[in-house]
Structure 1
Amino acid sequence: MYDMDDGVRLESLSRTYGTGSTVVTALDGVTLEFEAGTFTAIMGPSGSGKSTLLHCAAGLDRPTGGRVLVAGTDLTGLDETALTLLRRDRIGFVFQSFNLLPALTAEQNVGLPIRLAGRRPDRAEVLKVLADLGLADRAGHRPSELSGGQQQRVAIARALVTRPAVLFADEPTGALDAKTGRDLLALLRTLVDEQGQTIIMVTHDPVVAAHAHRVVFLADGRLAGELVDPTAEQVAARMTGLEVTG
């Protein structure tokens, strides 16, 4: 379903805020590759740069230096209009807060990105995405009539309806209880394993990170190692080491 060029590459990515003596370096020359069809978790102590990395990779923030390539497109030279179009068509983003419009049904919330693009949503396609996420019988429900886990699945369906090359997720289980969070992560892993979706997720929870194929660690805006197919215990041990040395 997804092209093998639909990965993400970060080349010498830097991001600073402020000027002069107040300058803060959030990212310091990070080079990373996320292959298509893989699930990667980004972890690090508070202030390590993980959310900045996610926002720069998704085109929500512009780096100070370096390059971001998404599905073969270099984001660096794009003007705001081109960047907006790329985000709309090739990038999905899921936040910790569900960001659903309360007056709209699940079906209408999912179809919203297509309407904002000036097109009429294909109802069959919208309903299929909802069904794929276990929400076939919730299409006509408004957010207030859905559980937290169902609302987050609607948010994921909304992010997936445009068939993005990459799905970015910022603490997607942060507002959910443990069981609902586990169910959501199993769903994300299924999207990767069965449909070839590329997912890049920021989390602070080792149990959440252990659902990914790979966990990349940041510290002080720089890469601080990675683990492949780790257990939650291995992730927690690495995080403890980073926090102690930091």
Structure 2
Amino acid sequence: MSTATSASRADHARPVRLHAVSKRYGTGAGAVTALDHVTLDFAAGTMTAVMGPSGSGKSTLLHCAAGIDRPTEGRVVIAGTETGGLDETALTLLRREHVGFVFQTLNLVSALTAEQNVALPLRLAGRRPDPATVRAALAEVGLADRAGHRPGQLSGGQRQRVAIARALITRPAVLFADEPTGALDSAASRTVLHLLRRLVDRHRQTVIMVTHDAAAASWADRVVLLADGRFVDEITGRTPAAAIATRMTALERPA
């Protein structure tokens, strides 16, 4: 087997890889280190929860891994492409093709219907949306009957599912989710988490989710723990929320 072929298979098996990634804001004595030499990779077809105390670098990690923010040092590889050498246009195209992102704030366009919001990434990419594909994406998240509704006519959980359908419409290599259940009640949270889990189990979608909630993290195959911008531990395998909460409490307890 050639080295190139081996590398290609490795990239497919690990669609996101970070090597010694650091992110600092500011300069001199006032500089703040949000990430400190973090090395991680994420296996295809798995769900990873990223957890840690407030200020541990969770969202910064997510933004660097997704190519939204550039690291100060280190390497980020998305779908086999190292992001460091890309200009802004090329980086935007890489994200558009391989990355889906769900924000806690959703960022749905209030004047557009659910169907139009889901189709928006395709239109922004200059592609003509196939109505059947858009309807299928809404059906996948259980909202086939809400295609003509605007965000203001939907519940919080339904809006989050529209955001997930929008993120998946381009068939990304990896779906990033920043506190996807943070603004939802427990019933809506379970619906969204069940949806994410089903995408992983049925479609081998790779999901990387930042969460502060041990119950949400219990749906993941792996929990990555950060503290002070560093990777400090991980929990592998589906783990009960109580066990995750205990590990989090140990992290938050002063030394």
The two structures have a TM-score, normalised by structure 2, of 0.94
Distance in 2 separating the partners of 1:14 and 1:93: 21
Residues 181-226 of structure 1 deviation map (CA, whole Å, 9 limit, x = unaligned): 0111011000001000000000001001111000000001111101
Residue in 1 that maps onto 2:4 = none
| CA RMSD between the two structures | 1.1
Residue in 1 that maps onto 2:233 = 225
Q: In the alignment, which of 25, 28, 40 is matched to residue 17 of structure 1?
A: 25
Percent identity at matched positions? 68
Map 1:1-246 onto structure 2 (within 5 A): 4-5=12-13, 7-228=15-236, 229-245=238-254
Residues 34-62 of structure 1 deviation map (CA, whole Å, 9 limit, x = unaligned): 00111000000011111100000001100
Q: How many residues align?
A: 244
The two structures have a TM-score, normalised by structure 1, of 0.97
Distance in 1 separating the partners of 2:215 and 2:232: 19
SS of the residue 1:181 aligns to: helix
SS of the residue 2:180 aligns to: coil
Distance in 2 separating the partners of 1:173 and 1:12: 29
Give structure 2 stretches of 5+ with no counterpart.
Answer: 1-10
Contact 1:101 1:109 in 2 (8 A): yes
SS of the residue 2:74 aligns to: strand
Q: How far off is 1:134 after superposition?
A: 0.4
Distance in 2 separating the partners of 1:152 and 1:167: 14
SS of the residue 1:245 aligns to: coil
Contact 2:12 2:80 in 1 (8 A): no
Give the partner amino acid of 1:133: V
Give structure 1 stretches of 5+ with no counterpart.
Answer: none
Distance in 1 separating the partners of 2:14 and 2:26: 33
